[in-house]
Amino acid sequence: MGSSPLIIVAIDGGAASGKSSTSRLLADRFNLLHVDTGSFYRHITAELLRRGVPHADRPALLAALPGLKFSTRLEGRSARMLVDGQAAGDEIRDQRVNDHVSHYAAVPEVRQVLLGYQRGQTEVARQHGFRGLVMEGRDIGSVIFPDADFRFFLHADPAERAKRRAAEGRQDSVAERDRLDSSRKTSPLVVPAGAIDVDSTFLTLEQVVDKLAALIAPKLP
């Protein structure tokens, strides 16, 4: 008998909408590989800033991208991207990266260089015995896995999301991040057609997870 097909869960949403916490808990509940694509863009941003390659210098950026070699290391149930064999540190969450990540992510060639790597996480999940993967980001259900078994879009009131960021001790303009990500020409932040829209403003994390899990569970043997 062949192995069971992998289940793919796509979770999109703006900054501080609850994507990461929800995805991690779903990964734990169903033995799925957790893939945080936002950390990929943050890692690339930090690396290009370290190399002195500004997002507005298109020739320099296009010259630098082919030299970025991606691989994956597992940390528990989470996929950690390595660039040239190196994992990113806490710097990918600092203010400098916050201020620049949406600009680098808006460059079509940056998104293209990550496309195959992101889709390749299904093979990482398969090789390590996961039942599938849950991937979070801003274009997962619309671009990366438009045929995912489940596509969810999480959102919450901007004031509530700003409060969540502050509670984490992070200064992140969620409204500005959303504006930049929604207005870019390539793979903008959108609610994918047919995706299940979940408003988490007045829900606890556990309630959000239970809501999504109730839909996912019947699909798994």
SS3 string, 99-145, reads HHHHHHHCCHHHHHHHHHHHHCHHHHHHHCCCCEEEEEECCHHHHHC
What pLDDT digit, counting tens, does each position of 115-124 carry?
Answer: 999 999 999 9
- What distance in Å separates the CA atoms of residue 208 and residue 211, rounded to the nearest whole number? 5
- What distance in Å separates the CA atoms of residue 15 and residue 157, rounded to the nearest whole number? 11
What are the structure tokens assigned to 117, written together?
A: 């790597």
Q: Which residues are annotated as a binding site for ATP?
A: 13-21
pLDDT at 1: 37
Mean pLDDT of 20-47: 97
Task: Judge whether residue 26 has pLDDT over 60.
Answer: yes
Specify the CATH number for 8-219; select among 3.30.465.10, 1.10.10.10, 3.30.420.40, 3.40.50.300. Answer: 3.40.50.300
Task: Judge whether residue 214 has pLDDT over 90.
Answer: yes
- What distance in Å separates the CA atoms of residue 75 and residue 87, rounded to the nearest whole number? 11
Band (pLDDT 50/70/90 cuts) for residue 72 is: very high
Collapsed DSSP state (helix, strand, coil) of residue 28? helix
Q: Which residues are annotated as a binding site?
A: 13-21
Mean pLDDT of 198-203: 92
- Please give the model's pTM, rounded to 2 decimal places: 0.88
pLDDT at 158: 80
- What distance in Å separates the CA atoms of residue 138 and residue 178, rounded to the nearest whole number? 10
pLDDT at 175: 66
Band (pLDDT 50/70/90 cuts) for residue 33 is: very high
Please identify which residue in the block is written with the tokens 């990540």.
101
What pLDDT digit, counting tens, does each position of 85-104 carry?
Answer: 999 888 998 989 999 999 99
Q: Tell me what the pLDDT averaged over the chain comes to.
A: 90
